[in-house]
Amino acid sequence: MSQEYILEMTDIVKEFPGVRALKGVQLKVRPGTVHTLMGENGAGKSTLMKCLIGIHPPTSGKIVFEGKEIQFKNTLEALNSGISMIHQELSPVPERSVCENLWLGRAPRKGLIIDHKKMRQDSIELFNKLNLDVDPDEKMGNLTVAKMQMVEIAKAVSYDSRIVIMDEPTSSLTDAEVEHLFRIIAELKEKNVAIIYISHKMDEIFRISDDITVYRDGEYIATDRAENLNVDKVIQLMVGREVNNMFPKVECPIGETILKVENLSAGRAVKNVSFELHRGEILGMAGLVGAGRTETAEAIFGMRHMTGGKIYKDGQELHIKSPEDAIANKIGLLTEDRRGNGIVGLLSIQDNTVLANLKKYGFPLNHKKMREDTEEYVKKLNTKTPSIETPIQNLSGGNQQKVLVGRWLLTNPDILIVDEPTRGIDVGAKAEIHSLITKLAGEGKAIIMISSELPEVMGMSDRIVVMHEGIMTAILDRKDFSSELILKYATSEIPYQPAADEQ
């Protein structure tokens, strides 16, 4: 290995069942630099980093770190070797103190007993060194998300790592905290530490990056010095594909307004979002990580508390306090997190299908009708399963998704919100889900479709709402769709201002 690079990852392939997430990608990182990884959601950036630190061992390929070929079996090995990672999804132990979280699994000891005095002193010294105002005795769960993020950053620095990976580290930080993080990064660079930085925020990237690597759909596209690139060039590299034929759009007649969302807010996640949805329309929602699309859907569906704004259906104001209220108003939500709050894994396909509609079956439950309805939707949606008694966890991702679609169709919704409807499912199942969504719109149902895949959201939608960090930055008509324009608005902080004729 040349002395120029502290890390070389070559021909990295990572396969999950039915999915090739990384297709022979590469990464070369110089010591003392910030190397930014860019690409749309699903491009493979986080997967590549998880291959590096031992969360997902690569299927094939070569990793050379400080001149030695390595493959870590777990994150502890990576940490002990000098590579630490700040994850996008924080996982603190909320009931323990900041200092216990900081030194979890490596607390100083006196014999067999943890030396709490030294642990507290080490925490204070670390926070002083990084100029962080955090109380080491405070319970972790009492901190703001931003403070938790800063503790995670301190934790990564405390390992005296040679490489620190930062995955969307500023997603919950204020401007002042971002500046603080950048000062920490500058200090790490002075110590010849390499930073691998994953972010979608163009202004940040061009402020701190030395090198930029772009991935697309699990493939390596290009690496260049940041000074040779600009926003337009990076977006071109991130997108770079023909979209039109992948999702042939069936034109449906667009009817009157069915849903009106006015200045919807939900805490810090959603700020003053307004739009209208028409019968027969597929309204896409695009944005990058932390854009607030899922949170907007959850607020409409009653899963998340609204802190401001109004929702109208057919001109009547709705007061949705829970998913039950939403279902009663004929609104359905196909959740983004299929495993977390979609399927009930141990229950059968039948149980999962009727779950949102149990009132329909009376008391005691009409099992014959439940069976008939489930069989009807298994047939309609071409769900591949040995029987409707099969536990849903035994099905492929695509077939699980079809069961969930069946669940919502059974409630006969007027409005169906589909959040990442084709995430993690194969191409054949994707095509079936797409044609089903188009068919529903053709029947006069109104669809809100959230997707992180630009080709999907552009190929399927009549109009697209673009969001950035909880703010709606644009609403585009189909004739104006372009990947570059959507990404430009997805990285913009300027709220959307409707034209006079839209008021």
pLDDT at 245 over 60: no
CB 158 within 8 A of CB 146: no
Please indicate whether residue 217 or residue 352 has the higher confidence score (pLDDT): 352
With a CB cutoff of 8 Å and minimum separation 6, the contacts of 321 are 302
Question: What would the two tokens of residue 133 be?
Answer: 């105002």
pLDDT of residue 422: 79
Phi, psi of 357 (to 5 degrees): -135, 25
Furthest-apart CA pair in the chain: how many Å?
75
Tell me the average pLDDT of the chain.
86
pLDDT in tens, 289-329: 778 999 999 999 999 999 999 999 999 999 999 999 998 99
Please compute the mean of the pLDDT values over residues 124-144 and round it to a whole number.
Answer: 85
Beta strand 7-16 with 19-29: parallel, antiparallel or unpaired? antiparallel
Residues in the chain: 503
Alpha-carbon dihedral sign for residues 230, 233, 234, 235: positive
Q: What pLDDT score was predicted for residue 243?
A: 36
Residue pair 401/353 in contact by the 8 Å Cβ criterion: no
pLDDT confidence of residue 2: 45
For range 176-193, the mean pLDDT = 88
- Summarised one tens digit per residue, pLDDT across range 11-21 is 999 987 767 88
Query: How would residue 424 be classed by pLDDT, with cut points 50, 70 and 90?
Result: low
Average pLDDT score over residue span 84-103: 81
So what's the pLDDT on residue 236? Answer: 80
- Identity of residue 356: A
Query: Rounded to a whole number, what is the distance in angstroms from the first to the last CA of the chain?
Result: 62
Interior angle at CA 211, CA 209 and CA 212, nearest 5? 90
Which residues contact residue 366 at a Cβ distance below 8 angstroms, ignoring those fewer than 6 apart?
A: none
Q: Tokens for 336?
A: 């983004």
331: pLDDT confidence band, cut at 50, 70 and 90? very high
Q: Residue 488 phi/psi, 5° resolution? A: -60, -45
Determine the pLDDT at residue 37.
Answer: 94
Cross-strand partners of 261: 275, 311
Tokens representing residue 118 in the block: 């030294």
pTM for the model = 0.57
Amino acid at 344: V
Q: Write the CA distances from 50 to 181, 214, 399, 441, integer angstroms.
A: 23, 17, 27, 39
Task: Categorize the per-residue pLDDT at 250 as very low, low, confident or very high, splitting at 50, 70 and 90.
Answer: low
* Average pLDDT rounded to a whole number, residues 364-375: 89
Res 202: pLDDT: 79
Above 50 in pLDDT, residue 60? yes
What is the token pair recorded at 272?
Answer: 């003053």
What DSSP designation does 96 have? S
Taking only the tens place, the pLDDT of each residue in 448-459 is 999 887 888 998
Residue 110 confidence (pLDDT):
86
Q: Which residues contact 452 (CB under 8 A, 6 or more apart)?
A: 40, 41, 42, 288, 420, 423
Calpha distance 75→54 (Å, rounded): 5
**Domain architecture of the chain: domains with CATH:** 7-239 (3.40.50.300), 254-329+442-503 (3.40.50.300), 331-412 (3.40.50.300)
What is the H or E stretch that residue 60 is in? strand 60-65
Identify the pLDDT of residue 242.
41
Tokens of 464: 């697209």
Task: List helix spans (H) across 191-261.
Answer: 202-208, 231-239
Q: Given a cut of 60, is residue 36 above it in pLDDT?
A: yes
- pLDDT, residue 339, reads 66
Long-range pairs of 169-172 with CB within 8 A, sequence gap ≥ 24 = 169/86, 169/197, 169/199, 170/199, 170/201, 170/204, 171/88, 171/289, 171/290, 172/145, 172/146, 172/290
